[in-house]
Amino acid sequence: MNFELTEQQLAIQETARKFAQEELLPGVIERDEAGEFPMEAFHKAGKLGLIGLPYPKEYGGQGLGYMEYALAVEEVSKVDASFGISYSVTTSLYGGSVWNSDATDEQKKKFLPEVLKGECLGSFGLTEPNAGSDAGGCITTAVKDGDDYIINGLKCFNTNGPLARYTAVYALTEPEKKSKGLACFIVDRNTPGVRTGKIENKMGIRCAQVSEVIFENCRVPASCKVAMDGNGFKTAMKTLDCGRIGVAAQGLGIAEGAFEIAKNYMKERQQFNTPIAKFQYPQFKMAELSMKIEAAKYMLYKAATDHDTGKSYNQSAAKAKFMCTNVAMEVTEWAVQFMGGNGYMKEYHVERMMRDAKITQIYEGTNEIQQLIVGGALFR
């Protein structure tokens, strides 16, 4: 077992770290307040090669793996977890919907490069008002009409929804077969009949734009169908396995970012003429949190390595997502607590990180769904 990162992985980590400090840290508090996505920074991340890390070069990627991608998502999320999720949804969930589907080479070359080069965002349309944890309960339909399909339905909680150039839409082509009748279409958002619905006003990840995406007689050519009739659900599930590695990396980054801020604060902050880091209770709690962060990190790197070495990563991704996001919540709560009144104030960053951490336990499969995936496999 090798615990060392390669020279190339260390270089990517350093690139993402520098990018986060230079492009994401300035204005992160103001963007959180205003709910603004840093699109220019996204384009820069694309130019640096971060967005397409785990895809082959001929489709606009870098020909590397999920390990490199997880390192990059971890670094950006230490500073701006909103950017982390918009990035992860674009790369894992939009990109994965094409990559894990039946897409032909021609379709991959049409739908991947622009997004993987960071020229535009992608989004993932699976969730509906009555199909959350029960993802197979979608009712959006795509009815064949000559050489086209007509899509009708509403996707909600769509990350990047208002800004994405392309959305992967899971829709029933054979409604009578329920989840076994799902296909997946890539819809250019400039197509007539698709529009952004309600834009959500959220507790956290406020710079990431989340909305409804509404389809009203949206006509798309059959060449937009990437997962064939009946293959949509499995494509979505495989894609979510990838996405959970991204969310785990986001959670780990949030935990590490908040831990570092609290640690530095505790060394400086004096009470009773003593830095609070010297008191045994905070020191022991920080020791415990550092161990949990390290354990979560190895679970994430294991899942990414499983992905990159062609092993099954369904279980390791679910475990990493559960652990990293729970650690993110625990660490950020303690960071706020140890920093007291200051921790509760916006300029110290950790209150934002605590708000951002909460959603990581909910999206891309709640942590209870991760327990269901792991528990189900234990007793299958």
Catalytic annotation, pick one of 7, 294, 364, 368: 364
Binding map of ligand CAA across residues 215-234, x = CB under 6 A, - = no contact: ------------------xx
Q: Which stretch binds ligand CAA (CB under 6 A): 23-31, 68-76, 342-350, 366-374?
A: 366-374
Q: Which stretch binds ligand CAA (CB under 6 A): 42-50, 70-78, 125-133, 250-258?
A: 125-133
Asked if 73 interacts with ligand CAA (CB under 6 A), we say no
340, 357 in Cβ contact below 8 A? no
Asked if 253 interacts with ligand CAA (CB under 6 A), we say no
Ramachandran angles phi, psi of 214, nearest 5°: -110, 135
Handedness of CA 370, 206, 252, 347 (dihedral sign): negative
Q: Count Cβ atoms within 10 A of the Cβ of residue 134 and give its class: 0-12 exposed, 13-18 middle, 19 or more buried.
A: exposed
Number of residues assigned to the chain: 380
Structure tokens given for 363? 């999206």
**Minimum Å distance from CB 244 to ligand CAA?**
8
Between CA 253 and CA 80 the distance in angstroms is 9
Q: Helix 314-338 vs helix 280-308: angle between axes, to the nearest 10 degrees?
A: 160
Asked if 184 interacts with ligand CAA (CB under 6 A), we say no
Asked if 32 interacts with ligand CAA (CB under 6 A), we say no
Structure tokens given for 200? 């959500």
**Minimum Å distance from CB 262 to ligand CAA?**
27
**Minimum Å distance from CB 51 to ligand CAA?**
16
- CA–CA distances in Å: residue 173 to residues 93, 165, 231, 307, 333: 21, 23, 10, 30, 45
**Which of 153, 282 has the CB closer to ligand CAA?**
153
Q: Count Cβ atoms within 10 A of the Cβ of residue 220 and give its class: 0-12 exposed, 13-18 middle, 19 or more buried.
A: buried
Rounding to the nearest 10 degrees, give the CA dihedral for residues 26, 357, 323, 209: -80
Asked if 89 interacts with ligand CAA (CB under 6 A), we say yes
**Which of 164, 353 has the CB closer to ligand CAA?**
164
**Which of 108, 202 has the CB closer to ligand CAA?**
202
DSSP 73-100: HHHHHHH-HHHHHHHHIIIIIIHHHHHT
The correct pick among 8, 133, 217, 309 for binding ligand CAA (CB under 6 A) is 133
Q: Which stretch binds ligand CAA (CB under 6 A): 120-128, 165-173, 186-194, 330-338?
A: 120-128
Between CA 318 and CA 184 the distance in angstroms is 23
**Which of 143, 372 has the CB closer to ligand CAA?**
372
Q: Where are the beta strands (DSSP E) in the chain?
A: 122-125, 141-145, 148-159, 166-172, 182-188, 194-199, 210-221, 225-227, 270-271, 274-275
Which of positions 153-172 make contact with ligand CAA (CB under 6 A)? 157, 159
Q: Which stretch binds ligand CAA (CB under 6 A): 111-119, 273-281, 322-330, 358-366?
A: 358-366
**Minimum Å distance from CB 365 to ligand CAA?**
3
Structure tokens given for 149? 């399909």
The correct pick among 27, 56, 65, 136 for binding ligand CAA (CB under 6 A) is 136
Q: Which stretch binds ligand CAA (CB under 6 A): 74-82, 121-129, 143-151, 218-226?
A: 121-129
**Minimum Å distance from CB 82 to ligand CAA?**
11
Between CA 316 and CA 295 the distance in angstroms is 13
* DSSP state letter for 129: T
Which of positions 297-326 make contact with ligand CAA (CB under 6 A)? 314
7 is catalytic: no
**Which of 6, 133 has the CB closer to ligand CAA?**
133
Interface residues toward ligand CAA, by CB under 6 A: 85, 89, 93, 124, 126-127, 133-136, 157, 159, 179, 233-234, 237-238, 240-241, 314, 363-365, 369, 372-373
Tell me the catalytic residues.
364
